[in-house]
Amino acid sequence: MALTKYVLVVEYDGTKYYGFQWQPGLPTIQDEVEKAIKKFCGQSSRAVAASRTDAGVHAKGQVVSFWAKEELSTITMTKALNYYLPRDIAVKAAYRTSDDFNVRQDALSREYCYYILNSESRAPLSEGFVLHVPGTLDMKPMNKACHLILDSHDFKSFTTFLNNSRNTVRNVYKAEVRRKENLVIFRMIADSFLPHQVRNTVGLLIRLGLGKIGLDDFKYIMEVRTPDLAGPRAPARGLCLNRVNYSKSLGVQQ
Protein backbone atom coordinates (compact mmCIF):
# COMPACT_ATOMS: atom_id res chain seq x y z
CA MET A 1 0.00 0.00 0.00
CA ALA A 2 1.34 3.43 -0.97
CA LEU A 3 2.05 5.82 1.89
CA THR A 4 0.92 9.46 2.02
CA LYS A 5 2.93 12.20 3.68
CA TYR A 6 1.30 14.81 5.91
CA VAL A 7 2.49 17.99 7.59
CA LEU A 8 1.14 19.49 10.81
CA VAL A 9 1.56 22.98 12.25
CA VAL A 10 1.66 22.47 16.01
CA GLU A 11 1.41 24.82 18.97
CA TYR A 12 2.37 23.77 22.49
CA ASP A 13 3.11 24.85 26.01
CA GLY A 14 6.40 23.09 26.67
CA THR A 15 6.42 23.62 30.45
CA LYS A 16 6.00 20.00 31.53
CA TYR A 17 7.78 18.37 28.59
CA TYR A 18 11.42 17.37 28.14
CA GLY A 19 11.61 18.96 24.71
CA PHE A 20 10.17 17.81 21.40
CA GLN A 21 12.33 14.76 20.80
CA TRP A 22 11.32 11.40 22.28
CA GLN A 23 13.17 10.30 25.42
CA PRO A 24 12.64 6.98 27.22
CA GLY A 25 10.41 7.32 30.26
CA LEU A 26 10.00 11.10 29.95
CA PRO A 27 7.09 13.21 28.63
CA THR A 28 7.90 14.76 25.24
CA ILE A 29 5.94 16.52 22.51
CA GLN A 30 6.93 13.90 19.94
CA ASP A 31 5.59 11.09 22.10
CA GLU A 32 2.21 12.80 22.56
CA VAL A 33 1.88 13.61 18.84
CA GLU A 34 2.78 10.05 17.83
CA LYS A 35 0.28 8.58 20.31
CA ALA A 36 -2.46 10.83 18.87
CA ILE A 37 -1.54 9.83 15.30
CA LYS A 38 -1.73 6.14 16.23
CA LYS A 39 -5.17 6.57 17.82
CA PHE A 40 -6.51 8.44 14.77
CA CYS A 41 -4.80 6.52 11.96
CA GLY A 42 -4.66 3.11 13.63
CA GLN A 43 -0.93 2.82 12.94
CA SER A 44 2.40 3.88 14.38
CA SER A 45 4.26 6.64 12.55
CA ARG A 46 7.36 8.64 13.37
CA ALA A 47 6.70 12.38 13.79
CA VAL A 48 9.64 14.48 12.51
CA ALA A 49 9.95 18.13 13.60
CA ALA A 50 11.54 21.07 11.80
CA SER A 51 13.18 22.26 15.04
CA ARG A 52 13.96 20.15 18.11
CA THR A 53 12.93 22.46 20.91
CA ASP A 54 14.55 21.94 24.32
CA ALA A 55 12.89 21.02 27.59
CA GLY A 56 10.47 23.73 28.69
CA VAL A 57 10.53 25.63 25.38
CA HIS A 58 7.20 26.57 23.78
CA ALA A 59 6.06 26.72 20.14
CA LYS A 60 3.44 28.57 18.14
CA GLY A 61 4.46 27.26 14.72
CA GLN A 62 6.34 23.97 15.01
CA VAL A 63 6.17 22.00 11.74
CA VAL A 64 5.88 18.21 11.96
CA SER A 65 5.65 15.55 9.24
CA PHE A 66 4.52 11.91 9.30
CA TRP A 67 3.40 9.14 6.94
CA ALA A 68 0.01 7.44 6.80
CA LYS A 69 -1.12 4.34 4.91
CA GLU A 70 -4.10 6.03 3.30
CA GLU A 71 -5.30 9.41 2.15
CA LEU A 72 -7.10 11.17 4.96
CA SER A 73 -9.10 14.36 5.22
CA THR A 74 -6.79 17.04 6.64
CA ILE A 75 -9.76 18.88 8.15
CA THR A 76 -10.91 15.74 9.94
CA MET A 77 -7.31 15.02 10.91
CA THR A 78 -6.92 18.37 12.65
CA LYS A 79 -10.08 17.86 14.69
CA ALA A 80 -9.29 14.23 15.55
CA LEU A 81 -5.69 14.81 16.61
CA ASN A 82 -6.77 17.69 18.83
CA TYR A 83 -9.32 15.38 20.41
CA TYR A 84 -6.58 12.90 21.35
CA LEU A 85 -3.86 15.40 22.25
CA PRO A 86 -3.50 16.84 25.78
CA ARG A 87 -4.74 20.38 26.38
CA ASP A 88 -1.27 21.91 26.20
CA ILE A 89 -0.64 20.66 22.64
CA ALA A 90 -2.75 21.55 19.58
CA VAL A 91 -2.63 21.03 15.82
CA LYS A 92 -3.35 24.38 14.17
CA ALA A 93 -3.46 23.03 10.60
CA ALA A 94 -2.79 19.85 8.60
CA TYR A 95 -1.65 19.45 4.98
CA ARG A 96 -1.10 16.66 2.50
CA THR A 97 2.36 17.23 1.05
CA SER A 98 4.73 15.79 -1.55
CA ASP A 99 6.71 12.66 -0.76
CA ASP A 100 10.05 14.46 -1.09
CA PHE A 101 9.18 17.36 1.24
CA ASN A 102 11.56 17.44 4.22
CA VAL A 103 10.49 19.62 7.15
CA ARG A 104 14.10 20.09 8.29
CA GLN A 105 16.18 20.27 5.12
CA ASP A 106 13.64 22.32 3.13
CA ALA A 107 13.26 24.98 5.83
CA LEU A 108 14.77 28.32 4.84
CA SER A 109 14.80 29.69 8.38
CA ARG A 110 13.48 29.34 11.91
CA GLU A 111 12.14 32.23 13.98
CA TYR A 112 12.39 32.29 17.76
CA CYS A 113 11.23 34.93 20.22
CA TYR A 114 12.30 35.30 23.84
CA TYR A 115 9.98 37.20 26.20
CA ILE A 116 11.27 39.19 29.19
CA LEU A 117 9.07 40.85 31.79
CA ASN A 118 11.12 43.94 32.63
CA SER A 119 9.38 45.30 35.70
CA GLU A 120 9.88 45.46 39.45
CA SER A 121 6.91 43.20 40.16
CA ARG A 122 6.29 39.67 38.92
CA ALA A 123 3.29 38.63 36.79
CA PRO A 124 1.99 35.31 38.13
CA LEU A 125 -0.42 34.71 35.23
CA SER A 126 2.41 34.78 32.67
CA GLU A 127 5.06 33.20 34.90
CA GLY A 128 5.50 30.15 32.67
CA PHE A 129 6.09 32.14 29.50
CA VAL A 130 8.39 35.04 30.43
CA LEU A 131 11.61 35.65 32.32
CA HIS A 132 11.23 38.26 35.03
CA VAL A 133 14.10 40.79 35.06
CA PRO A 134 13.49 43.59 37.61
CA GLY A 135 16.38 45.92 36.66
CA THR A 136 15.75 48.32 33.77
CA LEU A 137 17.20 46.99 30.53
CA ASP A 138 18.97 49.50 28.29
CA MET A 139 17.73 48.73 24.78
CA LYS A 140 20.38 50.74 22.91
CA PRO A 141 23.46 48.56 23.61
CA MET A 142 21.32 45.42 23.32
CA ASN A 143 20.30 46.35 19.77
CA LYS A 144 23.88 47.30 18.91
CA ALA A 145 24.88 43.80 19.95
CA CYS A 146 22.05 42.37 17.86
CA HIS A 147 23.54 44.14 14.86
CA LEU A 148 26.87 42.40 15.53
CA ILE A 149 25.37 38.91 15.24
CA LEU A 150 23.70 39.53 11.88
CA ASP A 151 24.93 37.64 8.81
CA SER A 152 27.27 34.64 8.90
CA HIS A 153 29.35 34.05 12.05
CA ASP A 154 30.89 31.26 14.05
CA PHE A 155 28.64 31.03 17.13
CA LYS A 156 30.69 28.48 19.07
CA SER A 157 30.70 30.74 22.16
CA PHE A 158 26.89 30.70 22.16
CA THR A 159 26.41 26.95 22.31
CA THR A 160 27.18 24.11 24.70
CA PHE A 161 30.15 21.80 24.28
CA LEU A 162 30.26 20.27 20.80
CA ASN A 163 32.37 17.75 18.97
CA ASN A 164 35.18 19.61 17.20
CA SER A 165 34.00 18.30 13.83
CA ARG A 166 30.62 20.06 14.05
CA ASN A 167 30.17 23.22 12.03
CA THR A 168 29.24 26.10 14.33
CA VAL A 169 28.75 28.75 11.63
CA ARG A 170 25.17 29.99 11.28
CA ASN A 171 23.49 32.67 9.16
CA VAL A 172 21.40 35.16 11.15
CA TYR A 173 18.89 37.09 9.05
CA LYS A 174 17.21 39.08 11.82
CA ALA A 175 18.09 39.95 15.41
CA GLU A 176 16.40 42.70 17.36
CA VAL A 177 15.14 43.69 20.79
CA ARG A 178 11.99 45.76 21.18
CA ARG A 179 9.98 46.96 24.14
CA LYS A 180 6.20 46.91 24.49
CA GLU A 181 5.48 48.56 27.84
CA ASN A 182 7.02 46.19 30.42
CA LEU A 183 7.54 43.38 27.93
CA VAL A 184 10.92 43.15 26.18
CA ILE A 185 10.96 40.81 23.17
CA PHE A 186 14.10 39.44 21.55
CA ARG A 187 13.47 38.13 18.02
CA MET A 188 15.98 36.08 16.06
CA ILE A 189 15.68 34.48 12.62
CA ALA A 190 18.42 32.20 11.29
CA ASP A 191 18.88 29.34 8.86
CA SER A 192 19.27 27.02 11.85
CA PHE A 193 20.39 27.19 15.47
CA LEU A 194 23.03 25.51 17.60
CA PRO A 195 22.00 23.90 20.92
CA HIS A 196 21.05 26.63 23.41
CA GLN A 197 22.18 29.36 20.99
CA VAL A 198 19.15 31.61 21.48
CA ARG A 199 19.06 31.24 25.26
CA ASN A 200 22.80 31.92 25.59
CA THR A 201 22.41 34.97 23.36
CA VAL A 202 19.57 36.25 25.53
CA GLY A 203 21.55 35.64 28.72
CA LEU A 204 24.43 37.71 27.37
CA LEU A 205 22.11 40.47 26.09
CA ILE A 206 20.51 40.75 29.53
CA ARG A 207 23.92 41.20 31.16
CA LEU A 208 24.68 43.85 28.56
CA GLY A 209 21.34 45.61 29.07
CA LEU A 210 21.87 45.70 32.84
CA GLY A 211 25.34 47.22 32.43
CA LYS A 212 27.16 44.17 33.80
CA ILE A 213 29.26 43.89 30.63
CA GLY A 214 30.04 46.29 27.77
CA LEU A 215 29.73 45.99 24.02
CA ASP A 216 33.44 45.24 23.75
CA ASP A 217 32.92 42.26 26.08
CA PHE A 218 30.13 41.03 23.83
CA LYS A 219 32.44 41.31 20.79
CA TYR A 220 35.24 39.48 22.60
CA ILE A 221 32.95 36.58 23.57
CA MET A 222 31.85 36.26 19.94
CA GLU A 223 35.40 36.35 18.59
CA VAL A 224 37.09 34.00 21.06
CA ARG A 225 34.79 31.10 20.01
CA THR A 226 34.81 29.14 23.28
CA PRO A 227 31.81 26.84 23.90
CA ASP A 228 29.29 28.10 26.48
CA LEU A 229 31.24 31.32 27.15
CA ALA A 230 28.14 33.43 26.49
CA GLY A 231 26.33 31.79 29.43
CA PRO A 232 24.71 31.56 31.83
CA ARG A 233 21.85 30.92 29.43
CA ALA A 234 18.38 32.30 29.99
CA PRO A 235 15.71 29.88 31.31
CA ALA A 236 13.67 27.90 28.78
CA ARG A 237 10.27 29.29 29.80
CA GLY A 238 10.71 32.60 27.94
CA LEU A 239 11.58 30.99 24.62
CA CYS A 240 9.09 30.23 21.85
CA LEU A 241 9.48 28.86 18.31
CA ASN A 242 7.24 31.27 16.42
CA ARG A 243 7.45 29.88 12.91
CA VAL A 244 9.43 27.89 10.37
CA ASN A 245 9.76 29.46 6.93
CA TYR A 246 9.74 27.62 3.59
CA SER A 247 10.04 28.75 -0.03
CA LYS A 248 6.73 27.11 -0.94
CA SER A 249 3.46 26.15 0.71
CA LEU A 250 3.43 23.19 3.07
CA GLY A 251 0.92 21.32 0.93
CA VAL A 252 -2.81 21.15 0.31
CA GLN A 253 -5.76 20.96 2.64
CA GLN A 254 -8.66 18.73 1.75
Beta strands of the chain (E only): which ranges? 4-12, 48-49, 58-68, 89-97, 107-117, 131-132, 151-154, 169-180, 183-190, 239-246
Q: Which residues are designated catalytic? A: 54
DSSP structural state of residue 212 = S
Cβ pair 177, 186 in contact under 8 A: yes
Angle, CA 226 vertex, CA 222 and CA 227 arms, to 5°: 105
Q: How far apart are CA 165 and CA 168, in angstroms?
A: 9
Q: Could you say which DSSP state residue 250 is in?
A: -
CB 74 within 8 A of CB 66: no
